Structures are given as structure tokens and as C-alpha cells.
Chain A
């Protein structure tokens, strides 16, 4: 099975780097980007399978980034991460292709489970 590629987009570098390292240890190829613009150009260069996207970021916000990814790469699964309560924004999401959400702090097992869950349908269809 092909290795899953994940990109973490989060302005909290300490959090993102630690999480990426742990996911790498678990056999998921994970990269980190701390700024929205950089993340977008990196996605254009090497599209990942899943993007773990922080909702609240300086500069480009999570929603904006999601829209742009959707426009260019409809195959990429997106998981929101936020310290906020998610259900408020969930109501408007189904059409925009959001996969899932996580409320920080989330356990590593939960994160990996959700990532695998999001990737599987795509693998099945391809």
C-alpha cells in the first residue's frame, strides 16, 4: 500500500512539528507548513493525500485555504483542527467537501484514525 502523505498547516510551530514527528514515527509521511501561502505552493508542488488545517491562522485563514485547495485539488481530503467548538461551522460544510474535524487537544490515535478514514474512500475509488 502506498504511503499516506499528510500536510499539517498550523501557525503553532511547536505543536505542528511534534505532531508531524509522531505521525512519521507511525509510518505516515507528514510535512509541516506554518503559513498559509507557503502551504498552498507546497501543495501545488507535491499534492498530499490529507491536509490537517488549523482554522484560525494569521494571514490566510483556514477557510480561505480550504476553498483554494478545493478549487485546485478536489481529491485532497481536509481535516479541520481547532481549539474552538466546531459544530457552529459544521452546518455549512457538507457541500465544500470537508472530511472531518478535530478539537484540540486530540489524542494521536484519534488523529491517525481520522486520517486513515478520510484517505480510504479515495483509495477505494481510484
Chain B
């Protein structure tokens, strides 16, 4: 879960309060990436961890359970083997009398049958109530030996039977001793004692078919090893580890042995004999398949994370880029709106001023007119001619003001396209009229080469005037005093009229030509040009469905060409 502080910060992703610096986009990018990685990689990692633990548990169970079954089975086999031998001794003890067994011939015959039917018996001896071995059959000379002081003899006196730990006989061979006491009602208690070798037990452990690194063996409850081991010493060596807690059912513990190896120790205690069956399996063996699986899971995980990283980075990059693009577009659009808004404000202001000036102008006009009327109609007087001249001058000045204010009003009107049928030549002449004074002062040669019989085109008078005025002003600014400006118009093709304004002025470099139509680009001194003239002209001509070209050579002059459609294709002005 995300802390609330983080959530609060996330609102930053909503973007942007006008502040769209590159740092902000970097910040947004980083945030999106971090967030996306968090919500993908964290659950993925958690899932991988949980899964791996579950797999591990399942695998362990699958390997440990058969092991436990095997240990139990083997224990039962060994117990059965020992019980059988003990029963055999017990049976003989009950079936024969002391006297019969004391006869060594008899004893030898019985011993032979035992070896034949059951196997594993090494010797057989009869001991009287005083612990003296009365008769004996076997490889050793033990007849006449007294056992009355031995601990097993005393234990047997208590329990009636006895099974010994493994011990090495004279032939360096592990043995187990079994003794059963005969307790008759009137007779004295005597004992039949047999020795069996552990070869059979070794075989049973071998039957478990444990792998090469796994050890199976018996130990007694004192921790002394009873059968041969691979890693924990020989018979009668002390087992290096403490014995596991008592359990008559098979159980397993995890521990490490004296070599430092991690092992699984499966074990079970015998019920009727003092043994513990143990199987020590190295952990590495148990979990070999698990390690393979774990590596595979790791590979998959790493691959997933790599793909997620790639996708997240690419996607976020693309997203933020798009965001930035649209933001920039929006800003550009805003600027354009602001700009046209500014222009229309200027238009309204100009119209307002023109209107305010027109009223007093009208008064001056009428008053001066009235003066003139009165002088003309009245009697002759001194300076009459001069007064007439003066009033004429006033009326002429009013006429000049009128042309200025009407042009301002026209500018205001130009904010909207008004398509009408127009004679381009007439507009050109009119526009050049605005600049006649300047041409006169600066001795600029304005040549008109207007085509005859050009068709009338449908277009917007005010806007065309504005464009031509702008182009002519630029030409006038480019030429030296005494230079030449040529205005040409011609029938370009079936649908188009061409107008060219050519000057022999300073011209432009390639660089300047490149940003010629860009807004706010100007070569004029600061405060002398807004850099908007050509930009606006370009926009107007485009709206009217035409196009505008510039050709120029530095030092040789510039030619601006405007191509206008004869039929209106004007796009509605915004």
C-alpha cells in the first residue's frame, strides 16, 4: 500500500500549471517509472518467493516420506529377524529339559538344525543357575566358563530374556548375544545362551538400496554404532552426533554432521531391543531437483523483470514525449490566439480613436466649408483670394485626416475576411498611393508593370491591401534613396494571378531567408519593427488560398511573389 504522502505527490502527474520545464518532465517520467516498477516488480517478487517456498515444502515432503517408510520397513524387518531368533532360543529352552541340553551330543544336533533352518547362529551354550556354562557348541572353547558376575546375567535374572549390544568376538566379527532363562516350577532356573552374527542385519540395511552418499546404520541407545557406516566410523565407534529424541515411529530431523555437511537424519527406535536405525542423507542430495527448479524460477523471474523494465522505460518515454508535444502544441496555439487577440484589440482601439477624431474633423470641415461659402458668396474684400486659399488648405488637411482615419477603420475591419470581386491592379495602385510621399522624398523610382485585362478575383480587399502595404514597406526599407521598386501583375495560369514586388536593395542572406516568415523575426533595429509583418502576410495569403514566395540575393535585391486564386478558396478567418 502506498503511504498517503506518496499519493499526494502523485497528483503531480496530473500536470501542469503552465510550468513545463524539462526538469518537470524528467520528474514526471521518473515518478511514472518508479510507480510502474513498484506495482509490477513487487508483486512478482512476492509471488516468486511464495511459490519457491511452497515448491520447496512439497518437494521435501515428496522426498522425505518415502525415506520414512523405508526406515520403518527396515526396522520392522530387523525387529522381526531378532524376534525370530529369540523365539527359536525360547522354543528350545521350553522344548528340552536341562538334562537333554546338558548332553553335548544333543546340543550339537539342535544347534545344527538351528543353523540349517534359521541361519545367523554362531554358537549355543547352556548355563546353570549358578552362571556356569555346562555345555557349549560353537567355534570357541567356552565350556566351564562362569557368567555369574556379568551384568547381562543379572539383567536376564530380572527380565527372563536378554539381547545384547553388538560386540566383537575373538574373530573380530560383530556379534549379538541372546539369552533366555528357563523357569520351571520345581526346577532350578537355567539359561540357554546363543550368539548370532550381524551379517543378516547388514544385508537388510543393504536391501534399503540407499544411494552412494546416503548412510544407513544401526546404533544402540548409548550412541555406539552397531553396523558398518560410510561416513561415521566403524562398528563400536561412538556416533559423533547426539542421538535424536526418542520416537518409535520413523521421524526426521535436519542437522549437520561432524564434517559440517547439512544432512537429513531419518531414524526410529526399536521397541524390544536397544537399537536405533538411522539414515543420514545429505541435504544437497535431497534438494538437487529443488536447486534446478530454483535456478529455473530465477531465470524466468530475471527475464520477466528485464521485459518489464524495457516496456516501462519505453512506454513512459513515449508517454512523456507525447505529453510534452501536446503541451508544446497547446502553448503555441495559446500564443497564436493571444497574438490575434492583441491584433484585434489594436484594431478596436484604432477604430475607437478614428471615430472620436472623425466627429471634430466633421465640425472643422463644415465650419471651414461655411467660411468658404460665405467668402465666395459675399462681397469682394481685401485678401479675399488669400482667405479662400486658407479655407481650401483647411479643407484639404481635413481630407488628409479623413484618409488616415478611414484607413484605420479599414484596418479594424480587416480582422474578418470579406470576400468580394476585386481588381488587383486597383488595389495595388491604391496601396502604392499610401507610399507616394515617401517615394517622393527619397526619390525612389516606383515602376508599375500591371497586366492589362486581368480578371477580377474574389478576395478580401482590406487584407490584400495590408499584405501589399507590408511587402511594399519592406521593399522601401531595403532600397537606398534613389533605388527602384517594380510592381508587376500578370495572369499566371487559368486559376491564378501573380503579383511580384521587386527591389534592387540590400537583399538577404540564405540564413535570413530561412526564417523570413517566422514570427518575431526582424532585421530592423529594436523598436522599428515587430517582426510580425511578413508572418501576418503569410497567414493572410494562406487563408485566402494563395501562396507567397521570396527570392533574394545579398546585395542584389529581393523579389516577393504572391499568387492568388481567381476564385475564392478563403478559409474562414479565426
Convert A66-87 into 0s and 1s, putting 1 for each residue whose CB lies closer than 8 angstroms to a CB of B.
0000000000000000111101
CB A93 to nearest CB in B, in angstroms, measures: 16
Contact A104 B367 (CB under 8 A): no
Contact B413 A105 (CB under 8 A): no
Contact B413 A87 (CB under 8 A): yes
Interface centre among A25, A82, A83 (most CB of B within 10 A): A83
Interface stretch of the complex, out of B144-152, B195-203, B305-313, B402-410: B402-410
With A18-B370, A25-B377 known as contacts, the answer to whether A85 contacts B413 (CB < 8 A) is yes
Contact B409 A14 (CB under 8 A): no
With A22-B369, A25-B377 known as contacts, the answer to whether A85 contacts B362 (CB < 8 A) is no
Convert A81-112 into 0s and 1s, putting 1 for each residue whose CB lies closer than 8 angstroms to a CB of B.
01111011000000000000001111110000
Convert B362-375 into 0s and 1s, putting 1 for each residue whose CB lies closer than 8 angstroms to a CB of A.
11111101100100
Distance, CA A85 to CA B348, complexed state (A): 11
Contact A85 B351 (CB under 8 A): yes
- Taking CB atoms, residues of chain B closer than 8 Å to A108 are 366, 369
Distance, CA A83 to CA B362, complexed state (A): 9
CB B284 to nearest CB in A, in angstroms, measures: 97
With A15-B359, A83-B359 known as contacts, the answer to whether A22 contacts B366 (CB < 8 A) is yes
Interface residues of A in 3-24 (CB under 8 A from B): 12, 14-15, 18-19, 21-22
Distance, CA A107 to CA B401, complexed state (A): 13
Interface centre among B361, B366, B373 (most CB of A within 10 A): B366
CB B402 to nearest CB in A, in angstroms, measures: 6
Q: How large is the interface on A (under 10, 10 to 19, 20 to 34, 35 or more residues)?
A: 20 to 34
Contact A85 B402 (CB under 8 A): no
CB B93 to nearest CB in A, in angstroms, measures: 140
Convert B359-395 into 0s and 1s, putting 1 for each residue whose CB lies closer than 8 angstroms to a CB of A.
1011111110110010001000000000000000001
> Is B354 interfacial (CB 8 A cutoff)?
yes
Distance, CA A107 to CA B372, complexed state (A): 13
Distance, CA A108 to CA B372, complexed state (A): 11
Closest to A15 in B: B363
Closest to B357 in A: A83
> Is B276 interfacial (CB 8 A cutoff)?
no
Closest to A11 in B: B359
- Taking CB atoms, residues of chain B closer than 8 Å to A107 are 365, 369, 395, 399
Contact B398 A105 (CB under 8 A): yes
CB A42 to nearest CB in B, in angstroms, measures: 21
Contact B410 A21 (CB under 8 A): no
Contact B363 A84 (CB under 8 A): no
- Taking CB atoms, residues of chain A closer than 8 Å to B358 are 83-84, 103-105
Contact B367 A14 (CB under 8 A): yes
Interface centre among B363, B377, B402, B413 (most CB of A within 10 A): B363
With A85-B410, A88-B413 known as contacts, the answer to whether A105 contacts B364 (CB < 8 A) is yes
Contact B370 A104 (CB under 8 A): no
> Is B263 interfacial (CB 8 A cutoff)?
no
CB B361 to nearest CB in A, in angstroms, measures: 4
Distance, CA A21 to CA B362, complexed state (A): 14
- Taking CB atoms, residues of chain A closer than 8 Å to B418 are 87
CB B483 to nearest CB in A, in angstroms, measures: 36
Contact B370 A22 (CB under 8 A): yes
- Taking CB atoms, residues of chain A closer than 8 Å to B355 are 82-84
- Taking CB atoms, residues of chain A closer than 8 Å to B413 are 85, 87-88
With A83-B355, A84-B351, A105-B361 known as contacts, the answer to whether A19 contacts B366 (CB < 8 A) is yes
Distance, CA A104 to CA B364, complexed state (A): 11
Closest to B411 in A: A85
Q: List the 7 closest pairs (A to B, CB-CB), nearest first.
A: A83-B358, A18-B366, A104-B362, A85-B409, A105-B365, A105-B362, A83-B355
Could you list 14 A-B pairs, sorted by A, with CB under 8 Å? A15-B363, A18-B363, A18-B369, A19-B366, A21-B373, A83-B354, A83-B355, A83-B356, A83-B357, A83-B362, A85-B351, A85-B413, A105-B401, A106-B362
Contacts A22-B373, A107-B369, A107-B399 aside, 12 further interface pairs with beta carbons under 8 A come to A14-B366, A15-B363, A18-B363, A18-B366, A22-B370, A83-B354, A83-B362, A84-B355, A84-B409, A85-B351, A105-B358, A105-B398
